[in-house]
Amino acid sequence: MPKVAANLTMLFNELPFLDRFAAAAEAGFKGVEYLFPYAFDKGALAERLQQHGLTQVLHNLPAGNWEGGERGIACHPDRVGEFQDGVGRAIEYATALGCQQVNCLAGIAPAGVDTDKVHATFVANLRFAADKLKGAGLRLLVEPINTYDIPGFYLNRTAQAAALLDEVGADNLFIQYDIYHAQRMEGELGNTIAKYLPRIAHIQLADNPGRNEPGSGEINYAWLFRHIDRLGYAGWIGCEYKPAAGTREGLGWIQALAG
């Protein structure tokens, strides 16, 4: 059974955010991740992690106006300065929280901009971020996201992400492989994970359809977890799913798959 981390953006979301750390620890999680830490004081977050014996596994770079529908700015030619400022802020938080990796959301491709310019902007931003993060001893991740949930999202397939890694050429740049997004875009989960495992530094999960907990849909998580173990994956798997009936009520899948 791979080690799993609670995504506090999705899980225990009936609680105020800072109370979710205790709830995750009480439920048996040893690691946590979430979209963004920036609305909270670094010290308050670090205190929750230390108090409850939790590892901060992942958070994202700043991604623009999330509440306004933006889903990243890394591929936006007119937002490079904002992106670079966000890299510095992410490093400050990751360092304070003991988080070893941060994820870069490519964003929705901007309308009316030449595709070559969009691509060149993304590559240049990844090179900048990878260099700055390497100086801080951190990994940078990029995540393909399905275009059914986020129409127009620029990075949406595993092979595309691998090609980006080749082009950027940074040894601290890896793929964040989200099983749910991959199932929607390309399927072939077992062979794809095996093929790209050396380039995958983090995995996330949810079942499909519905993006609920494992066991609620079509993905054979019992087989997939055994497969991931056989491959020797040593990283975390973030539980980034929408609980169907409440977080605690839906956690039985962990015991069922571990048994």
Instruction: Find the domain containing 84 and state its range.
Output: 33-258
Q: Which of 98-107, 183-192, 246-255 has the lowest mean pLDDT?
A: 246-255
DSSP for 109-156 reads: PPTTS-HHHHHHHHHHHHHHHHHHHHHTT-EEEE----TTTSTTBS--
The answer to whether residue 203 scores a pLDDT higher than 70 is yes
* Percent above pLDDT 70 for the chain: 100
Mean pLDDT of 110-131: 98
Percent of the chain clearing pLDDT 90 (strictly above): 97
Mean pLDDT for 143-162 is 98
Question: Is 10 inside any structural domain?
Answer: no
The pLDDT score that the predictor gives to residue 257 is 87
> According to the model, what pLDDT value does residue 186 have?
98
Q: What is the DSSP string of 195-251?
A: HHGGGEEEEEE--TTTS-STTSSS--HHHHHHHHHHHT--SEEEE----SS-TGGGT
The first and second tokens of residue 54, run together, are: 């939790």
How does pLDDT run across 39-65, given as a tens digit for each residue? 999 999 999 999 999 999 999 999 999
* 124 domain-assigned: yes
Q: Among all residues, which ones are annotated catalytic?
A: 143, 240
Q: How many CA atoms lie within 13 A of 179 on its CB side?
A: 30
Instruction: Read off the pLDDT of residues 243-255 as tens digits, 9 standing for 90 and up.
Output: 999 999 999 999 8
Q: What is the mean pLDDT of residues 192-220?
A: 98
Indicate whether 258 pLDDT > 80: no
The CATH code of the domain that includes 39 is: 3.20.20.150
| φ, ψ of residue 211 in degrees (nearest 5) | 60, 35
Residues 6 or more apart whose Cβ sits within 8 Å of residue 57: 5, 31, 32, 33, 99, 101, 202, 236, 238
Quick check: is 119 in a domain?
Answer: yes
209-244 residue pLDDT tens? 999 999 999 999 999 999 999 999 999 999 999 999
Residue 20 is assigned to a structural domain of this protein: no
Residue 94 lies in a domain: yes
| CA torsion, ordered 6, 7, 12, 17, to nearest 10 deg | 120
Q: Is the pLDDT of residue 259 over 80?
A: no
pTM: 0.97
Judge whether 54 lies within some domain. yes
Is there a domain that residue 26 lies in?
Answer: no
Is the distance from CB of 86 to CB of 70 less than 8 angstroms? Answer: no
